[in-house]
Structure 1
Amino acid sequence: MNLVEKLRIWWYELTGSDELPLDREVTSWLVSLTLHLAVLILLATLAFLLPNNDQYMITSVPLDVEEDLLPEEVHFSELTPVEIGALGNESVTNAEAAAPIEADISEILTEIEPISVIGEMPALDANVKMLTAPNPSDTMLVKGTGNVGTTAAVGAIDRITNEILLSLEQRPTLVVWLFDESGSLQSQREAISKRFNRVYEELGVVEAAGNPAFKHDEDKPLLTVVASFESTTTVYNKKPTGELEEIQDAMQAIDEKAAMIYENPEAASGQENVFGAVAQLAREYRKFRTRAPQRNVMLVVFTDESGNDFQNVDLAVETCKRSVIPVYVVGVPAPFGRRQAYVKYVDPDPRYDQSPQYVPVDSGPESLMPERIKLHFLGRNDGDERLESGFGAFGLARLAYETGGIFFSVHPNRRDGHVGRGQIDSMTTHLSRFFDPLVMRNYRPDYISESEYRSRLAGNMAKAALVQASSQSWTEQMEDIRLRFPVADEAELARSLSMAQREAAKLEPKLMQLVGTLAQGERDRDEITEPRWRAGYDLAMGRALAAKVRTEGYNTMLAMAKQGMKFEKPNNDTWVLRPSNKVTTGSVLSKEGEKARMYLERVVEEHGDTPWAYLAAKELETPFGWEWTETFTNVIARRQNQGNGNANPQPRMDNVPPKKPKRPVPKL
């Protein structure tokens, strides 16, 4: 009998049931579990009972380490310094900037290394004293600033001489001198020609000492090309020369050609294609940058106009930049926000009329697109006053800026304060006011391509609105308005008031469109960071609003007068409309007047000693409102004197020399 049967019998005797509480499978599982537990207990017991001779001891003993001291690189003085900081004016952490203006794009020009070295250039002994002239100060002479003001071209020549010497210290140099053939540059060319001889005597000091290394032109450290331009470009020595006599002959040839054009206006084409000439000469002589022996190449341009081939400015800039040819321009200052200035012309022949004539010439603007609205100032007879922009014509200034050169704006009457027409020299553009070049540096125009310029306009509505508004007012003449209304009878007064209203009605839509255009960009105004654009937008908005308030208020005052007004003094016979500090023609106009004042005062406060601040202050001189006043002008008596034909005859002048004949002004 097996174990299971025995358990079943035992369970039956105990409970009376034949079925065990555990079946066969459960029983087998319990037996297996019992056996495995017994084996584990046995193994654990053996691990503790068997002997173990391996013993370990962990100890910690401090080690003697010799410290290697670092060499002392910094010594701290116990003395307290008088000044601390990094050449800063504000605080210890502000370092003085190395350049006056942060560049939009950092340009690193890679110099072209010569293919092979065939010889060494001896260093120049620069013990000769440099020429001096009315140069601008060194703090103003920064390459790529776009403008340097000076009172004479000879001052610019001296600075260029220094640039040539610096170039010669680096490697042999080729200088290309390019002259405008126009008659207005004749006196400047004469002064430059005289200076030229001294400049080359100074630069040729080593050759003059008889150094045998300079026997041939190609061995000389300084070579020269002389060229001129009008509608085409003329090169007077196509092979670069180092002989002063050849250079003098070329300068003489330019003077003779310019004199011929000056005396015979029909010989002049009227075109000054300066950018095409620069690109042509840069392409022709860039081989000196790449062929051995490698030379630096510099291009110096003399002109007093902005050029007639502006479409070639990108070509000229890219050609010179690729060839690493800096361009130095000796030009004239551009009028602020205007394309034309007026040259004072006096006939050089005393046999002809010597009265001055003012001839328009293209010498601006200073920006790629117009950035100044064109509005007359109410009640002033100064017309469209020409101010100095602080920079040269855009194309030429950009050419100098982007190639690493300098633009010299030459004006012999540069001074502080107002400059009248009688104070300027003959053959000089009349600019009524000049501004501090150090201040104007912060207001440099954007010297970039047209595509980049338009891209920036698209990125800011305030800038785009300013350019659009300036373009509108640029082509439309804003008219002055009538302020005096004589009263011969009521019917005539009504007619004169209606005629004045008609003129104001023509002006109102233009001003409303101008203000509306500028208002489209108002939400982006605070996003502008450049001082030039902020000043330009604020001035335009302030002036446009001021003109709108005055014009609409003027029209309202005329309408009131047509309803009937009586003189307080019976003898008075003329109504005079005068500006008033109070805008009494409606709350809307009053609010717009306050807004105009806010914009204009902000320009004066934030942009002092600039053309924008000057124009804003000038606008603020005239109140925005109107008031009627009365006066006596003896209208009836004047009408009678005009109608009876009894005007007093002019007194006879005896022994008066006859007037000299006047001949047409030549092409300047």
Structure 2
Amino acid sequence: MNFSTSPAAPRTVLKRLQPWFLSIVLHTLLLLALGLWVFDRLAGDAGHRIWATYPADDSAMADFTVASVSAYDPTVAASMTPAAVLEQPVAARLDTPPDLSPLDALDMSNPPSASLVSMELFKRSDVWGEEVRVGEAKKKLSNLTREASGADKLIAATGIGQAGEVVTGAIRSELEQGDTLIVWLFDASASLTHKRSQMADHAESFYKSIEAFNTKRRDKAENENTLFSSVIAFGQNWREILRPTHVGARAISAMTKVPIDTTGDENVMSAVTQAVQLYREQRNRQERIMIVILTDESGDDTLQLEDTIEYCRSAGVAVHVIGPNAVMGCERGSQLCQIPSGGREYAFWLPVKKGPETSLPERFLVPYWHESALPLWQQSGASVAANTPWYGGPYRERLHSGFGPFALTRLALQTGGSFTMLDEDATRSVDQWANRKDYLPDYASVNQYVRSLHDYPVRQFVVDAATLSYQQVELFVPPRMTFLGERSPVYPYPVLHPYVVPANFRTQLSRVLQSERTRIERASEVLQSLIVRLEDTAVPWQDETSPRWQASFDLTKGRVYATQARYLEYLAATQNVKPSLSLETNEITLLPDATLRSSESRYLVDSAVHSLQKCIAEHPDTPWAYLAQWELDVPVGLRIQPAVIPRPPPPPPRPPGGPGYSTKSSSGSSFSFPRL
């Protein structure tokens, strides 16, 4: 018998099975697609609509959206439940609760405890986001193209309430145009703790007003747009406190749990860039995005400004800033900090970076002389606020400009946002001058700014003089006025008058005077180069029409002439001092006087007075006018006042074996200042 099989048999079997395989594959793909669609609907922010009944009353019913509710037990008495939660009673949650953030451990009702815990959190790798690589913002949508804002978006507010109104108004405008994601980007400085709490209170009222505090997501069929919120904290690094959610209550809670950054660094540009990259590119968010920055400093990474602007514009992201009143012409200034302790409140001036208001220096930053009651010229750190002038020390470093820091202001305007300056009592600029917008800084890029200077001689001179004063800051330190007295490093910084044997005093006086005179001669030579430029009659100084540049030029010109006159008077007064002193003299002090010694000083003083008075008359109640008046307040000339410091009596003898005097308290307690 022949058992051989025909070669065509296997092919016939495969042919019959082919439709079955094809059907199985197609049905499997269809089931998989349906499963993914259902899973996406479950995981989406819209959630399920569920009918639930209260155990105590079967007739009482409520519908809610699973993904938008807070945990709530209807059996708990209403008096023990927050009113905000009662607005939307809920019986259950079907979604899996997220893992608790380490920030949830903060007890915000106990500020000292919360501060200590949050300081530790800043050191944890699971708190701050890793730096992400920023590429090109390819997620830009055609309807998100934004135009740069105008000067009408520069606003001054006297408190967080007014500033919050500006921000919430911008949110409403965005929400009218489509679904919106607002990113609350909060400075994590200790100095902002109170303002963050105030902003949370204001935001809570706003969320309730648009029915987005603790209720279900709006029904898209009603053509209503949805507001999503996220919270990010920044300092040296950045951290996403809250992922985007449409429940306003969660955003408010996250605002109160911002950890405190103790590094003192404020990398605001990096934080903005990372936030845009996170939501536009990494998570592919398609809503309209606006970032709201709350900060009291200008930032430490402002060199990234132009890249940050370009990136935000390419992603269609608007940046709104609530920021400080910038110190005038200085990068660093001082901020009033009030610290409660032992039932009292202590006030300190803390160093803080919140300036300047311009892209390049426009202020001739030389000190004012004869500030004997103020700190050392180079002193850093905190100083006691009591009995110290509101405008600062010799450089008037606490004088505010009336405008926001340049980098933050330009970022807001170029991205179609707004800058709201917190012009509170402790940081108010001179006064609320009505014509402030006539003196707006130039908010063009630095490159555009520099190119424009070549066409304006006044502006070129002002910037050159300001730059020179920054480069020669040590050369322009005020000369010594008391010989051989020393300034105390302890508040209120009096001049100490040590006893020196008269014979030794005369020997030391020559050496110290010569050192001071040599430095002043070098400073005078530097200033003379500026005076030569001012004396060039071929330059059309009178053609400048901008009130800001006119004020800056008159102030700069007047101070250049006045400072040069002071140098010449100092050299003349100290030229031959010893012959006029008695044998008992062991201290001399140089005091301001209206009499001039140098023949060249009269012309310089007349020129200075003319320019400074012109500045005051044409620009009253402005920072420039105050700076000019302070120069006029002190005469240029000097007179020598000799003194005889008596030999101090010998100290009383100590008891044998008696305890020495200790300056440390018995409790061993100390006081530290928070870094801003």
1:276 aligns with 270
Give the superposition deviation at 1:485: 6.4
1:601 aligns with 613
Give the superposition deviation at 1:298: 2.2
The equivalences for 1:393-404 within 5 A come to: 393-404=405-416
Check the 8 A contact 1:580/1:626 in 2, yes or no: yes
- Cα distance change of structure 1 residues 648 and 214 upon mapping to structure 2, 3 Å threshold: farther
1-structure distance, mates of 2:540, 2:425 = 40
Would you say how many aligned residue pairs link Structure 1 and Structure 2? 486
1-structure distance, mates of 2:604, 2:438 = 30
2-structure distance, mates of 1:605, 1:391 = 22
SS of the equivalent of 1:514 reads: helix
1-structure distance, mates of 2:428, 2:521 = 30
1:442 aligns with 438
1:481 aligns with 479
Provide the aligned C-alpha RMSD in A. Answer: 4.0
1:121-158 Cα offsets, whole Å, 9 max, x none, are xxxxxxxxxxxxxxxxxxxxx95457433232232112
Task: Select the residue among 559, 562, 567 that pairs with 1:543.
Answer: 559
1:516 equivalent in alignment to 2:529: yes
2-structure distance, mates of 1:662, 1:576 = 37
2:382 aligns with none
Give the superposition deviation at 1:222: 2.1
Check the 8 A contact 1:303/1:330 in 2, yes or no: yes
The equivalences for 1:84-483 within 5 A come to: 112-113=142-143, 144-145=151-152, 147-204=154-211, 213-214=219-220, 220-238=225-243, 240-252=244-256, 254-255=257-258, 257-258=259-260, 261=261, 265=262, 268=263, 270-285=264-279, 296-345=288-337, 355-380=346-371, 381=373, 382-385=393-396, 386-414=398-426, 431=427, 434-475=430-471, 476-477=473-474, 478-483=476-481
2-structure distance, mates of 1:618, 1:592 = 17
Amino acid at match of 1:234: R
Give the superposition deviation at 1:354: 7.0
Unaligned runs of 5+ in 2: 1-139, 374-392, 485-499
2-structure distance, mates of 1:114, 1:146 = 19
Instruction: Return the TM-score normalized by structure 1.
Output: 0.64
SS of the equivalent of 1:405 reads: coil
Give the superposition deviation at 1:572: 9.6
Task: Select the residue among 483, 506, 514 that pairs with 2:519.
Answer: 506
Q: Which moved more, 1:319-328 or 1:368-377?
A: 319-328
Q: Which moved more, 1:549-558 or 1:474-483?
A: 474-483
- Cα distance change of structure 1 residues 113 and 404 upon mapping to structure 2, 3 Å threshold: closer
Amino acid at match of 1:541: K
SS of the equivalent of 2:229 reads: strand
1-structure distance, mates of 2:531, 2:370 = 25
Give the superposition deviation at 1:301: 0.6
Check the 8 A contact 1:556/1:585 in 2, yes or no: yes
Check the 8 A contact 1:542/1:597 in 2, yes or no: yes
SS of the equivalent of 2:625 reads: helix
2-structure distance, mates of 1:439, 1:219 = 41
- Structure showing greater Rg: 1
Check the 8 A contact 1:146/1:444 in 2, yes or no: no
Give the superposition deviation at 1:481: 3.3
Task: Select the residue among 573, 579, 588 that pairs with 1:557.
Answer: 573
SS of the equivalent of 1:661 reads: coil
Give the superposition deviation at 1:300: 0.8
Amino acid at match of 2:181: L
Check the 8 A contact 1:340/1:364 in 2, yes or no: yes
2-structure distance, mates of 1:234, 1:574 = 59
Give the superposition deviation at 1:479: 2.8
Amino acid at match of 2:321: V
- Cα distance change of structure 1 residues 585 and 329 upon mapping to structure 2, 3 Å threshold: same
1-structure distance, mates of 2:407, 2:511 = 47
2-structure distance, mates of 1:483, 1:617 = 22
- Cα distance change of structure 1 residues 572 and 468 upon mapping to structure 2, 3 Å threshold: same
Check the 8 A contact 1:541/1:596 in 2, yes or no: yes
- Cα distance change of structure 1 residues 354 and 166 upon mapping to structure 2, 3 Å threshold: closer
1-structure distance, mates of 2:457, 2:520 = 25
Give the superposition deviation at 1:391: 1.0
The equivalences for 1:558-573 within 5 A come to: 558-562=574-578, 564-565=579-580
- Cα distance change of structure 1 residues 608 and 232 upon mapping to structure 2, 3 Å threshold: same
- Cα distance change of structure 1 residues 512 and 600 upon mapping to structure 2, 3 Å threshold: farther
2-structure distance, mates of 1:232, 1:646 = 57
Check the 8 A contact 1:466/1:537 in 2, yes or no: yes
Give the superposition deviation at 1:345: 4.3
Give the superposition deviation at 1:603: 1.0
SS of the equivalent of 1:446 reads: coil
2-structure distance, mates of 1:491, 1:641 = 16
Check the 8 A contact 1:543/1:596 in 2, yes or no: yes
Give the superposition deviation at 1:435: 3.0
2-structure distance, mates of 1:167, 1:212 = 16
Q: Which moved more, 1:610-619 or 1:474-483?
A: 474-483
Task: Select the residue among 617, 629, 641 that pairs with 1:617.
Answer: 629
Give the superposition deviation at 1:370: 1.5
SS of the equivalent of 2:252 reads: helix
- Cα distance change of structure 1 residues 160 and 647 upon mapping to structure 2, 3 Å threshold: farther
Give the superposition deviation at 1:609: 1.0
Q: Which moved more, 1:600-609 or 1:498-507?
A: 498-507
- Cα distance change of structure 1 residues 247 and 565 upon mapping to structure 2, 3 Å threshold: closer
- Cα distance change of structure 1 residues 488 and 542 upon mapping to structure 2, 3 Å threshold: farther
Amino acid at match of 2:670: K
Check the 8 A contact 2:197/2:255 in 1, yes or no: no
Identity score, percent = 26
2-structure distance, mates of 1:497, 1:314 = 54
2-structure distance, mates of 1:582, 1:439 = 39
Check the 8 A contact 1:273/1:307 in 2, yes or no: yes
Check the 8 A contact 1:229/1:277 in 2, yes or no: yes
1-structure distance, mates of 2:329, 2:670 = 33
1:604-634 Cα offsets, whole Å, 9 max, x none, are 1111111111010110112223445x57x4x
Instruction: Return the TM-score normalized by structure 2.
Output: 0.63
1-structure distance, mates of 2:292, 2:428 = 28
2:647 aligns with 640
Amino acid at match of 2:513: A
- Cα distance change of structure 1 residues 497 and 460 upon mapping to structure 2, 3 Å threshold: farther
Give the superposition deviation at 1:220: 3.8
- Cα distance change of structure 1 residues 596 and 488 upon mapping to structure 2, 3 Å threshold: farther
2-structure distance, mates of 1:661, 1:206 = 45
